A and B are shown apart, each in its own frame.
Chain A
Amino acid sequence: MATRITVDPVTRIEGHLRIDCEVNDGQVTNAWSSGQMWRGIELILQGRDPRDAWVFTQRICGVCTTVHAIVSVRAVENALSLEIPINAQYIRNMIVGAHSVHDHIVHFYHLSALDWVDIVSALSADPVATAKLAATLSDWPHNTVQDLTTVQARLRKLVESGQLGIFANGYWGHPAMKLSPEVNLLAATHYLQALEYQRIANQIVSILGSKTPHIQNLAVGGVSNPINLDSQSTLTIERLSYIKSLIDKLGAFVEQVYLVDVAAVGAFYADWTAYGAGVINYLSVPEMPLDTKGTEFELPGGYIADGDLASFKPITSFQDSYFEGGVQESSKHAWYESGNGALHPYDGETVPEYTDFQDDGKYSWVKAPTFYGKRAQVGPLANVLCMAAAGHEPTTRYLDFVMSTASSLAGSEIPLTALHSTIGRHAARAIRCAVIYESLQNQWSLLMENIGSGDYETFNRPTFPKGEQRGFGIHEAPRGVLSHWVVIQDGKISNYQAVVPSTWNAGPRDEDDELGPYEASLIGNPIADPELPLEVLRTIHSFDPCLACAIHMVDPRKKEIVRVKAF
């Protein structure tokens, strides 16, 4: 008989997400993803000056504030065919890079690791044996017996204080937890060390963006960081050297800790390479523009159909008509009026029509986007597969490193197709983090070189002609493809739509009733205990859900922290 599980809200994510599953004989057989994400940014932006849009859009999400700011200025610049100074591209790129490194580290260690790592089990680890094991995995100098013993003592204090409940829904001792006490201790140690490294990455964003959260240095036409090597109040050599010292600190952690940990978790949980594939059409966009117009990029992007890398079709510029023409959104199963079928974002409508949760009808505040009529998965896995398909050298190098490390730990060859899985999404995120780290180094060098040539320009003034202009901005954000779509009429915004990464992944069934990526990825997942559906969280967390985009409190007086209903 079918058991219905409702997890509401899913914890350790940003924002509010409800997942419903039907379980038969210990396996998920049907699933619904319902996001409490109210979309209506156009209601705020209509009639406003397009130069101000980014200030508002960075408030629609609680995590990705910088990404909504950057993609918004790109959209308006696209509508005006406005090129920006190359210094401005490099400075924006460095913010993009540092933010991504920060975000990926936090996601793996602080939001997802506890799905795989049992903190309580780490208490019974032998620190000497753990240090010995660590030495076989990596050259990281902070895996010493002393480091491990200190962390173990801290964990013991926490467990003995009875405060462990602060980690809402830590599934300590769950039968699906498989790591040895030593591996658990090593991972817990890196959890704490990761705090320091995410902080360093965030400092880079703060220095360039003037403030986090909510950077202050953007402008339609460039950035507001004046470059003057002699003035203390601007971007100076001293400040740029300090940024370089911060970037340098990130590299060792990403390469010697994050990549290795992900390979180890992948090897020890190799069974999870068989679950969680879901939708295997992958969409990503190019990032780190290298010219003033956005026609050359350091990191490639594109579309892969049906998991076949040979089908890769590149997206090549900020003006790419293949991307622009392919995106539609359906509200058939979302709480908006939906009589007009799937719509292109320029023509998008967001008129709420709330019903109750209807399995076969409307059940989510998230719309269902498609690319040329097909559902697509976005995020680091899509990005890494597309970059690998495009032959991007750093991607291929880090991908080979993770696959060969995992294979040697597992004792058998893990094929590339294993990436289409729950654990594959974590591996791809670590690979992307390393690729972005290298790109951050490169963007810093490019900026220094260009300043050295005597070019200090950071801003081109925009002008708004009479009549209508349409434009879109694209950004490969930490959670995947983000696009903003703007229609400008006589210098004022007349329509504005944001199609965010979690819309692609968390969306409900579409116009053809096809399942979205979250939903499809849950089908076939094992469920050991319907009352403690850790396996559901593993697969959903692997997408790095972020539904903080303007959360609406629909049902505010629920007193439960987390409702796991099995009936």
Chain B
Amino acid sequence: MNIDSSPCPVLLLGMGNILLEDEGLGIRALEILEQRYDFPEGVDRLDGGTTGMGLLDVISGRQHLLVLDAMQTGDPPGTLVRLAGDEVPVYFGMRISPHQLGLSDVLATLELSGERPADVTVLGLVPQSLDMCLELSELISSSLDSLVEAAVKELSRLGYPLRVRPGQIQS
């Protein structure tokens, strides 16, 4: 039980609803990352589903928050989207992901308590289809590696390079 110790500096957070096809692409990308790579000390991973304020506890006190999510930007489906620094409020400002409202409430609250992560980056793909279905669409399924790679690159930038697990092939 990791109860009283301070949290790992990095949280890799998959967001999305796996019942709604491409809506769950952030969770699916997280699953692939966990299958394919060994994670170094200091990086926690969490399947956050579509929760909002329930994430207060897990986000508070982190140095870096890296979110994987489906994002509707108006770009063609499968487009890789990266928002960092000043662009992050855009993620919360535009209605491009249904989870942003809950997550923005969390970050606003943590700002007030002085526990907001200093660095927040959002990575995602533009979804193709949001029907009631457990699998990703073919297009997003085949684009998912680009999101996985982007997440690896991002963690490396933060000083946490991942190592490919034995028997796994790097994308």
Contact with A along B1-26 (1 / 0, CB 8 A): 10100000000000001111001000
Residues of A close to B53: CB separation below 8 A: 14, 63, 106, 110-111
Determine the residue in chain B with the shortest Cβ distance to A10: B101
CB-CB under 8 A for A198 and B98, given A40-B132, A214-B47: no
B105-113, B139-147, B151-159, B163-171 - the one binding chain A = B105-113
Q: How far is the CB of A122 from chain B (nearest CB, A)?
A: 12
Most chain B CB inside 10 Å of its own CB: which residue of A207, A213, A559: A213
Is B161 interfacial (CB 8 A cutoff)? no
Chain A, interface size category, equals 35 or more
The residue that B108 contacts in the complex, of A62, A65, A167, A213, with Cβ under 8 A, is A167
Task: List residues 48-76 of chain A with CB under 8 A from any CB of chain B.
Answer: 56, 59-63, 65
In the complex, the chain B residue whose C-beta lies closest to that of A13 is B101
Q: How many residues of B contact A (CB 8 A)?
A: 43
Identify A192's interface contact among B47, B48, B54, B112, CB under 8 A: B112
Q: Return the chain B residue nearest A551 by Cβ.
A: B98
A167–B108 alpha-carbon span in the complex (Å) = 6
Chain A 267-309, CB-CB to B under 8 Å as 1, else 0, gives 0000000000000000000000000000000000000000000
- Contact mask A533-567 → B, CB, 8 Å, 1/0? 00000000000000010111101111111000000
Q: Which of A9, A62, A195 contacts B56 (CB 8 A)?
A: A195
Does B85 interact with chain A (Cβ within 8 Å)? no
Residues of A within 8 A of B108 (CB): 166-168
Answer whether A195 and B113 are a contact pair too, CB < 8 Å, given A212-B54, A553-B130.
yes
Q: A-facing mask of B96-120, CB < 8 A → 1, else 0?
A: 1011011011011101111000000
Cβ 8 A contact of A166, one of B54, B101, B104, B113: B104
Q: Are B19 and A41 in contact (CB under 8 A)?
A: yes
Contact B49 A199, beta carbon cutoff 8 Å: no
B54 touching A63, Cβ below 8 Å: yes
A163 to B53 Cα, complex, angstroms? 20
**Contact across chains for B54 and A59 when beta carbons are under 8 A apart:** no
A56–B47 CB distance below 8 A: no
Determine the distance from Cα of A60 to Cα of B3 in the docked complex, in whole angstroms.
28
Please, which residues of chain A bring their CB within 8 A of the CB of B113?
192, 195
Query: Are A63 and B51 within 8 A (Cβ)?
Result: yes
Beta-carbon nearest neighbor of B71 in chain A: A556
Bound Cα distance A305, B40 (Å): 59
A342 to B101 alpha-carbon distance, docked (Å): 33
Given A14-B102, A561-B94, A60:B19 Cβ within 8 A:
yes
A166 touches B111 (CB 8 A): yes
Asked if A154 is an interface residue, CB under 8 A from chain B, the answer is yes
Is A191 among interface residues, defined by CB-CB distance under 8 A? yes
0/1 interface trace, chain B 118-131, chain A, CB 8 Å (1 if under): 00000000000010
Contact of A16 with B by CB under 8 A:
yes
Is there contact, CB below 8 Å, between B19 and A62? no
Per-position binary interface string of chain B over residues 36-68, scored 1 when its CB falls under 8 Å from any chain A CB and 0 otherwise: 000000000001111111111100100000000
B157 to chain A, nearest CB (A): 25
A337 vs B95: C-alpha distance when bound (angstroms): 28
Instruction: Please determine whether A44 and B54 come into contact, CB atoms closer than 8 angstroms.
Output: no
Residues of A within 8 A of B47 (CB): 213-214
Q: How far is the CA of A556 from the CA of B20 in the complex (A)?
A: 15
The 0/1 profile, CB within 8 Å of B marked 1, for residues 240-269 of chain A is 001000000000000000000000000000
| Residue from the set B52, B72, B104, B114 with the largest chain A CB neighbour count within 10 Å | B52
Contacts of A207 in B (CB 8 A): 1, 3
- A386-427 residues with Cβ-Cβ distance < 8 A to B are none
Residues of B within 8 A of A561 (CB): 93-95
Q: Is A92 close to B, CB under 8 A?
A: no
A202 touches B112 (CB 8 A): no
Choose from A38, A199, A556 the contact partner of B96 (Cβ within 8 Å): A556
> Measured between alpha carbons, how far is A561 from B105 in the docked complex, in Å?
13
CB contacts (< 8 Å) of A555 on chain B: these are 95
Chain B hits for A44, CB < 8 A: 19, 132-134
Query: Which residue of A has the minimal Cβ distance to B93?
Result: A561
- State whether A14 touches B52 (Cβ < 8 A): yes
In the complex, A351 has a CB within 8 A of chain B: no
Instruction: Assess the A65–B94 pair: CB atoms within 8 A.
Output: no
B104 pairs with A59, CB closer than 8 A: no
Of A38, A65, A552, which is within 8 A of B51 by CB? A65
Question: Known contacts A63-B54, A195-B56, A195-B113: does B19 contact A166 (CB below 8 Å)?
Answer: no
- Starting from the known contacts A65-B49, A158-B111, A213-B51, 7 additional A-B residue pairs (CB-CB under 8 Å) come to A13-B101, A44-B132, A62-B50, A110-B105, A203-B57, A548-B52, A551-B17
A-B contact pairs, 17 of them (CB 8 A): A12-B105, A13-B101, A60-B19, A62-B49, A106-B53, A166-B89, A192-B113, A195-B109, A198-B56, A213-B49, A548-B50, A550-B20, A551-B98, A553-B72, A557-B72, A557-B74, A561-B94
A residues apposed to B, CB below 8 Å: 9, 11-16, 38, 40-41, 43-44, 56, 59-63, 65, 106, 110-111, 154-155, 158, 163, 166-168, 191-192, 195, 198-199, 202-203, 207, 212-214, 239, 242, 548, 550-553, 555-561
Chain B residues within 8 Å of A, Cβ to Cβ: 1, 3, 17-20, 23, 47-57, 60, 72, 74, 89, 93-96, 98-99, 101-102, 104-105, 107-109, 111-114, 130, 132-134
Q: Which A-B residue pairs are the 7 nearest by beta carbons?
A: A62-B50, A556-B72, A166-B108, A551-B98, A213-B51, A40-B132, A43-B132
